Chain A
């Protein structure tokens, strides 16, 4: 009896076990076969995380490798309002760290949303303070922030990047395709706690950083140019100023300074007018600096020689029913003196002897009325009218720098052509592009656009322009111990109310190169609307002199003059 009972219990037990296994088997088939596809997707969603990763934006350095712009990962703070118990308390704790008003933070944290940005791209120190608070419902993600460690230095050339890291102005914009890092989606495996184990697929590689740019700019020369320009603009109470320093042999920009400056680290509060690169965008009537190019054209075409005598009409000459004045009553003077004394009448007569077609041809050859193709965005072409649109006075006016609009970069480029023996070089600002590992992937060689004048003509013009600095209107551009060649310019601006030349608003400029016999620097200084005395020789020429002297010293260019000195030799 007990045996049959025992057997019965065994059957029951077996049945229970079979049922149990049956349930498990059914569940297994249900999960692994019937719902396999759907559950597999769900499992992947829980175990895998797809993230969008972007390589860091490339660095920008000067010609000596000094960092001018680079990315650093900084914290951005977000809130999860739906999980917060006391938004007011959280806002009070966050406010002193984020430097955001309590009521503003509280308003954001009370929104019926599961994600809200509280502050983006903070300083690293703010992130560390935030970590110490370890608040619930507040999270931190790291984002790349663009830093310009030199502040306002070179800001108009560098430009700046936007909140999402895209280049918006300057080099940042022009070289966006090189600078931005690689974007890629990456699948990561997560464990039960949401921690990343490793990327799915061991061959997965992280996105590469953007390329780095090496500029032709020298940070020290840039600083000298900015400091002296800023000083001149302040002293003259001028509206603005531009200074360009370039290597005339290559066209490489060594400095491009614009006053007033701006800090690319804080651009949101500034108007676009403040960050516009006026050296490229704004055309101005150059005034007498244009006489240097006119002189080159006239000598090249054998219309005049430096010693050709020109009558100065005692300061008054009528052309097309209008009177051209000189600032002094000149009689017979040589053509070299026409340029040295900046005679409008002498320039007008020479221009008329040259003729409109030849004058126009040389304006084009020097690059006026067309973009220099410098590798920066927003460049303007200036304004050179076609001869068929010229009036009866146009040849005379253009010869003395009126009725023509040039940009400072065009003028600097043209002066560079006079300096290097007559070849117009393409100005450029980026010399190398390197990949994330530092390998050079592109090197930018100097590019000659065309020969404008012969070396002999360039030599003659240089001699004349040296006279401008030794005996003419540009004596304040002189640099002790060096031969300087250059030309002053004082151009009246058009009064927008009357449409005629203003007697109170001027553009003062000086364009030249040094040392005249073997130029290392071609420079242009343009001061817009200086108050009081506005002569180019008084306002702009001294800036040329101060910058030139310091930069030549910095570059180790020695003077031509003999120097007597005593040197104590030290024995080690």
Chain B
């Protein structure tokens, strides 16, 4: 009986110590994960800023005109028309709106 009590006592001490040690170990693990999370969040934010900068209308217009040789349509060249949806016409064109570039440059060039 005495031996059993001592054994139970030792077990309780062991469990208590093990629990404390494990708490510290988990604490370190949590901190490491928090650091990883912070780094990833920082990278995500950096990338969001980059995406936003790269998708700026001014930059897209610059790339289109300077690198791709595109130009802004002249006045009157873009016409927005409303098309009514029709059940009989097989089409994959959106029924809502269609933008049409009007060809009014000399020699049929766009």
A residues lining the B interface (CB < 8 Å): 66-68, 70-73, 124, 142, 147, 149-151, 153, 189, 191, 195-198, 219-220, 223-224, 227, 480-481, 545-546, 549, 552-553, 556-559, 563, 565, 567, 569-572
CB-contact partner of B31 in A73, A147, A197, A552, under 8 A: A197
CB-contact partner of B28 in A73, A197, A220, under 8 A: A197
In whole angstroms, what is the CA distance A481 to B76 when docked? 8
- Within 8 Å CB of B96, what residues of A? 556
**B48 CB, nearest partner CB in chain A, Å:** 6
Contact in complex: B76, A569 (CB < 8 Å): no
- Known interface pairs A72-B46, A149-B53. Does A481 touch B58 (Cβ–Cβ under 8 Å)? no
Interface string of B65-104 (1 = CB under 8 A from A): 0000000000110111110000001111100111110000
- Within 8 Å CB of A72, what residues of B? 42, 45-46, 49
In whole angstroms, what is the CA distance A195 to B35 when docked? 12
Contact in complex: B81, A198 (CB < 8 Å): no
Contact in complex: B42, A189 (CB < 8 Å): no
B residues lining the A interface (CB < 8 Å): 24, 27-28, 30-31, 38, 42, 45-46, 48-53, 55-58, 61, 75-76, 78-82, 89-93, 96-100
**B24 CB, nearest partner CB in chain A, Å:** 6
21 A–B contact pairs at CB < 8 A?
Answer: A67-B52, A68-B52, A70-B48, A72-B46, A73-B42, A149-B50, A151-B58, A191-B24, A198-B30, A219-B57, A223-B57, A223-B58, A227-B58, A549-B76, A556-B96, A556-B97, A557-B80, A558-B80, A565-B79, A569-B91, A571-B92
- Within 8 Å CB of A572, what residues of B? 92
- Output the nearest chain A residue to B53 by Cβ-Cβ distance: A149
CB-contact partner of B75 in A68, A151, A545, A571, under 8 A: A545
**A189 CB, nearest partner CB in chain B, Å:** 7
- Within 8 Å CB of B75, what residues of A? 480, 545-546, 549
In whole angstroms, what is the CA distance A556 to B92 when docked? 19
In whole angstroms, what is the CA distance A182 to B97 when docked? 46
- Output the nearest chain A residue to B78 by Cβ-Cβ distance: A553
- Within 8 Å CB of B79, what residues of A? 481, 558-559, 563, 565
- Output the nearest chain A residue to B24 by Cβ-Cβ distance: A197
Contact in complex: A67, B49 (CB < 8 Å): yes
In whole angstroms, what is the CA distance A66 to B70 when docked? 24
Closest 4 CB pairs of A and B: A223-B57, A149-B52, A198-B27, A149-B53
10 new A-B contacts at CB < 8 Å, known A197-B31, A552-B80: A72-B45, A149-B50, A150-B52, A153-B57, A197-B24, A198-B27, A219-B56, A553-B99, A558-B79, A565-B100
In whole angstroms, what is the CA distance A552 to B53 when docked? 25
- Within 8 Å CB of B61, what residues of A? 223, 227
- Output the nearest chain A residue to B72 by Cβ-Cβ distance: A550
- Output the nearest chain A residue to B44 by Cβ-Cβ distance: A72
CB-contact partner of A150 in B56, B98, B100, under 8 A: B56
**B58 CB, nearest partner CB in chain A, Å:** 6
**B36 CB, nearest partner CB in chain A, Å:** 14
- Within 8 Å CB of B93, what residues of A? 567, 569-570
CB-contact partner of B81 in A68, A189, A191, A565, under 8 A: A565
Contact in complex: B52, A571 (CB < 8 Å): no
Of B46, B49, B78, the most chain A CB neighbours within 10 A belong to B49
Contact in complex: A556, B80 (CB < 8 Å): yes
In whole angstroms, what is the CA distance A179 to B52 when docked? 19
In whole angstroms, what is the CA distance A549 to B53 when docked? 26
Contact in complex: B46, A124 (CB < 8 Å): yes
Contact in complex: B78, A153 (CB < 8 Å): no
In whole angstroms, what is the CA distance A68 to B53 when docked? 9
Contact in complex: A195, B49 (CB < 8 Å): no
CB-contact partner of A196 in B31, B45, B58, B76, under 8 A: B31
- Output the nearest chain A residue to B47 by Cβ-Cβ distance: A72
- Known interface pairs A73-B42, A549-B75, A570-B91. Does A220 touch B57 (Cβ–Cβ under 8 Å)? yes
- Within 8 Å CB of A556, what residues of B? 80, 96-97, 99
- Within 8 Å CB of B38, what residues of A? 73
CB-contact partner of A558 in B27, B30, B53, B97, under 8 A: B97
In whole angstroms, what is the CA distance A553 to B75 when docked? 11
**A122 CB, nearest partner CB in chain B, Å:** 13
Contact in complex: A195, B56 (CB < 8 Å): no
- Within 8 Å CB of B55, what residues of A? 66
Contact in complex: A151, B56 (CB < 8 Å): yes
CB-contact partner of A480 in B30, B48, B56, B76, under 8 A: B76
- Within 8 Å CB of A191, what residues of B? 24
In whole angstroms, what is the CA distance A183 to B71 when docked? 50
In whole angstroms, what is the CA distance A480 to B90 when docked? 32
- Output the nearest chain A residue to B60 by Cβ-Cβ distance: A223
In whole angstroms, what is the CA distance A189 to B20 when docked? 14
In whole angstroms, what is the CA distance A395 to B23 when docked? 83
In whole angstroms, what is the CA distance A559 to B58 when docked? 27
- Within 8 Å CB of A224, what residues of B? 57
Contact in complex: A150, B53 (CB < 8 Å): yes
In whole angstroms, what is the CA distance A151 to B52 when docked? 10
- Known interface pairs A150-B52, A556-B96. Does A195 touch B31 (Cβ–Cβ under 8 Å)? yes
Contact in complex: B45, A70 (CB < 8 Å): yes
Contact in complex: A149, B49 (CB < 8 Å): yes
In whole angstroms, what is the CA distance A71 to B48 when docked? 10
- Within 8 Å CB of B100, what residues of A? 563, 565, 567
